[in-house]
């Protein structure tokens, strides 16, 4: 499988705080890759650094054969990477529809109607709420909108940061179903950050474990799911706080 995203020796810092200390990670075209790790491990930082915020201090990020390490954030979307970031970051004073329109900023205008219809098909509740302001949506609806908005740019790689955070099990299940569906049906590659390691590892083709800024383990989803340390730290022990 050819690498769609290839990250090598990536470092990133916030001032003096080093958040990524030389990360190597590959995402193959068509894969779902999960990234798990404790709070503060640097998962969100990794996704944001792919998009240029913060900028990489060292290392390279190659997407589809092109070095995007030093591109401006807004330009990176044009290459086909979009993100539903940590905290969802819905535009609160814009309607659902306007949020989707912003998501489609870099997309071909004539595709808008079709893409919007697709998002409403994946998340019917968004269709019903299309004229409601983003800030008044429920947490689950906001998460759906964040994913739907990211899909509007017709990405080849979708970065998802804890899409199930704070959602009722049923809604989380629906979100995971959608992630599987867009991966299988639309061939969108997914890099998924999840606290819900059990779910994430079950649906991921491959996975990485990030610990204080470094990758400490990687393998297929099934391998990591069977790994004693992973089970202890992120699945059974997860509720008691990860190591």
Ligand X SMILES: Nc1ncnc2c1ncn2[C@@H]1O[C@H](COP(=O)(O)OP(=O)(O)OP(=O)(O)O)[C@@H](O)[C@H]1O
By CB under 6 A, tell whether 87 contacts ligand X. no
Determine which residue in the list 1, 73, 128, 202 makes contact with other proteins, applying CB under 8 A.
Answer: 73
Q: Which residues contact 173 (CB under 8 A, 6 or more apart)?
A: none
C-alpha count within 13 angstroms, C-beta hemisphere, residue 162:
17
By CB under 6 A, tell whether 40 contacts ligand X. yes
CB 148 to other proteins: min, Å: 12
Determine which residue in the list 27, 44, 61, 85 makes contact with other proteins, applying CB under 8 A.
Answer: 85
Site string for Mg ion, 171-210 (x = CB under 5 A): ----------------------------------------
C-beta separation of 14 from 54 below 8 A = yes
Between strands 66-67 and 214-220, the pairing is unpaired
Looking at the chain, the number of H-run helices and the number of E-run strands are: 10, 10
Neighbours of 117 (CB within 10 A): 11
Residue range at the interface with ligand X (CB under 6 A); choices 37-45, 89-97, 140-148, 224-232: 37-45
Site string for ligand X, 7-26 (x = CB under 6 A): -------x--x-x-------
For ligand X, the binding residues in 206-235 under the rule CB under 6 A are: none
By CB under 8 A, tell whether 45 contacts other proteins. no
Site string for ligand X, 42-61 (x = CB under 6 A): xxxx----------------
By CB under 8 A, tell whether 183 contacts other proteins. no
SS3 19: strand
Q: Give the count of residues interacting with other proteins (CB under 8 A).
A: 30
Give the full edge-to-edge strand order of the sheet including 189-193. 81-84, 157-161, 189-193, 32-37, 206-211, 214-220
CA distance 146 to 160: 9
Determine which residue in the list 26, 44, 189, 196 makes contact with Mg ion, applying CB under 5 A.
Answer: 44
CA distance 196 to 230: 12
Closest Cα partner for 143 from 157, 170, 162? 162
CA distance 235 to 225: 9
Closer of 168 and 216 to other proteins (Cβ): 168
CB 93 to ligand X: min, Å: 24
Q: Find residue 217's DSSP bridge partners.
A: 209
Residues at the contact surface with ligand X, assessed by CB under 6 A: 14, 17, 19, 37, 39-45, 86
């Amino acid at each position: 499988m050819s690498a769609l995203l290839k990250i090598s020796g990536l470092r990133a810092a916030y001032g003096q705080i080093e958040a990524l200390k030389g990360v190597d990670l590959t995402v193959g075209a068509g894969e779902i890759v999960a990234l798990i790790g404790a709070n503060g491990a640097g998962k969100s930082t990794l996704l944001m650094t792919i998009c240029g915020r913060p900028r990489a201090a060292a290392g390279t990020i190659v997407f589809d054969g092109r070095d995007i390490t030093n591109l401006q954030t807004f330009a990176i979307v044009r290459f086909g990477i979009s993100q539903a970031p940590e905290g969802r970051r819905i535009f609160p004073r814009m309607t659902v529809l306007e949020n989707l329109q912003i998501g489609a900023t870099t997309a071909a205008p004539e595709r808008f109607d079709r893409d919007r219809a697709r998002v409403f098909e994946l998340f019917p509740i968004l269709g019903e709420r299309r004229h409601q302001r983003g800030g008044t949506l429920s947490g689950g609806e906001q998460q759906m909108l964040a994913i739907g908005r990211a899909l509007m740019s017709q990405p080849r790689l979708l970065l998802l940061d804890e899409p199930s955070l704070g959602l009722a099990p049923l809604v989380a299940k629906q979100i995971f179903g959608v992630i599987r569906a867009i991966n299988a049906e639309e061939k969108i590659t997914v890099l998924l950050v999840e606290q819900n390691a059990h779910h994430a590892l079950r649906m991921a083709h491959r996975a990485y474990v990030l610990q204080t800024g470094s990758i400490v383990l990687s393998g297929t989803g099934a391998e990591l799911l069977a790994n004693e340390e992973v089970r202890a730290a992120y699945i059974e022990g997860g509720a008691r706080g990860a190591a």
